[in-house]
Amino acid sequence: MKNYNISLIKGDGIGVEIVDEAIKVLSAVGKKFDINFEYKEYLMGGCAIDATGNPLPQETIDGVLNSDACLFGAIGGPKWDNQPRELRPESGLLRFRKEMGVFANLRPAVVYDELVDASSLKPEVIKGVDIMVVRELIGGIYFGEPKGKTETKGWNTMVYEVYEIERIAHVAFKLAMKRDKKLCSIDKANVLDVSQLWRDTVTKIATQYPEVELSHMYVDNCAMQLIANPRQFDVILTGNIFGDILSDEASMLSGSIGLLPSASTGEKTAVYEPIHGSAPDIAGQGIANPIATISSASMMLRYSLGEEEAADAIDNAIKTAMKDGYRTGDLAAFDAKEVVNTQRMGEIIASLI
Ligand SMILES: NC(=O)c1ccc[n+]([C@@H]2O[C@H](COP(=O)([O-])OP(=O)(O)OC[C@H]3O[C@@H](n4cnc5c(N)ncnc54)[C@H](O)[C@@H]3O)[C@@H](O)[C@H]2O)c1
């Protein structure tokens, strides 16, 4: 039997409800594929502020760094919105990503056939969309120096060093090798020097992956192409700020924020989490869609633990649940045969493993 140590950060709001359902599904794959998961729970966000006065206790940083991977729910909520900025749940999250050194953010945008009507785009445009956005997460303009603000002027600096571009490019090319072997690198090389370096570096790295077809696209064109013809993309590689915007745009192709997982990986550890927040408006009601978190658990099996078969089993179980017409409230309007609550959706997916 294989053993993995998983750190859990359930967080605030619906975080607790959705992580519990992912654990249910992991138990089912554990039984089927002879895998034992040992969980240790850590505090972060509002619950950590309430318990310790600090949104990111040192114990959480140490615990996650010592685990094989981290499964994360969501943090934040109105209760903590009036705290000083450094004591808000969100500042704990930014510090957490930096401490973990997770430089690569992977966000799949997949459209389930059964939910083509849930998107705001026409079914014939989005049917079959399966994109992986690879975004650089701990560099670029969000972190570059100098930065500052006076009464009359504000400035930030977009900086990338070659090693930062190389390491994220390798992640993207390796993913492309496992997928349709197409990689589109996004930049603004017609205007920005930093983007010219980005393009030159990605082009150089491409020589190590001759099977992958590399193309380059300006970020403004990519924003249009994602709406006009999203099926042309397989892997999209991009820097921090462009990736922030494009990955949100791509994620909306699928129709519900409750479906979308993410992985943030680096050299030390990896964190798997839904892209949505703590949804305070529906917290505690048992109606949140747990699929984004269950899908994040599948990404954890695939990318951190090398358990491809178990990951496939989860992905297939989610697809079958969709095909069988089970829907949580957020998707009730789209071909629902039965509208179920959070727990029941977890049970259904676990039973389909
Ligand atoms: N990574 C994170 O932990 C993270 C990310 C984004 C926002 N937040 C925090 O979450 C709190 C709420 O933020 P927000 O309202 O802007 O974003 P949100 O993603 O929490 O919610 C946006 C909308 O989507 C719905 N929704 C979200 N997840 C859902 C799910 N699984 N099933 C069904 N519906 C779902 C919510 O009910 C809400 O109507 C804030 O404190 C914010 O800072 C945390």
Cis peptide upstream of residue 146 (ω within 30 degrees of 0)? yes
pLDDT confidence band for 24 (50 / 70 / 90): very high
Mean pLDDT of 159-173: 98
Q: Classify strands 261-265 and 270-274 as parallel, antiparallel or unpaired.
A: antiparallel
Q: Strand, coil or helix: what is 87?
A: helix
Catalytic residue of the set 127, 181, 188, 319: 188
Catalytic residue of the set 20, 127, 130, 142: 142
Whether the pLDDT of residue 244 is over 80: the answer is yes
Residue 188 among the catalytic residues: yes
Question: What's the pLDDT at 169?
Answer: 98
CA of 111 to the centre of ligand 1 (A): 20
Residue 272 among the catalytic residues: no
Can you tell me which atom of ligand 1 is nearest the CA of 81?
A: 41
Q: Which of 15, 7, 10 is nearest to 342 (CA)?
A: 15
Question: Angle 342-351/15-33 helices, nearest 10 degrees?
Answer: 10
Residue 182: which residues within 8 A CB-CB, separation 6 or more? 176, 212, 213, 215, 233, 234, 235
Question: What's the pLDDT at 319?
Answer: 94
Residue among 257, 264, 281, 342 whose CB has most ligand 1 atoms within 8 A, to mutate? 257
Whether the pLDDT of residue 255 is over 80: the answer is no
Mean pLDDT check: name the lowest of 39-43, 75-79, 93-97, 321-325: 93-97
Q: Which of 114, 121, 126, 111 is nearest to 335 (CA)?
A: 114
- Chain segment 60-103, per-residue pLDDT in tens: 999 999 999 999 999 999 999 888 877 889 888 888 988 899 99
CA of 279 to the centre of ligand 1 (A): 4
Q: What is the mean pLDDT of the chain?
A: 95
Residue 281 among the catalytic residues: no
- Chain segment 97-146, per-residue pLDDT in tens: 888 999 999 999 999 888 888 888 999 999 999 999 999 998 999 889 99
Question: What's the pLDDT at 325?
Answer: 94
**322, 114 contact by CB (below 8 A):** yes
Q: Which of 353, 257, 250 is nearest to 301 (CA)?
A: 353
Question: What's the pLDDT at 86?
Answer: 77
Residues with CB under 6 A from ligand 1: 14, 74-77, 90, 93, 257-258, 273, 276-282, 288-289, 292, 330
Q: Which of 271, 263, 259, 283 is nearest to 16 (CA)?
A: 283
pLDDT confidence band for 257 (50 / 70 / 90): confident
Instruction: Report all structural domains of the chain as residue ranges with CATH numbers, in order of start.
Output: 1-110+259-353 (3.40.718.10), 120-254 (3.40.718.10)
Atom 15, ligand 1: which residue's CA is nearest? Answer: 279
Mean pLDDT of 168-182: 97
Mean pLDDT of 267-275: 93
Cα–Cα distance between 138 and 123 in angstroms, integer? 35
**225, 216 contact by CB (below 8 A):** no
**237, 203 contact by CB (below 8 A):** no
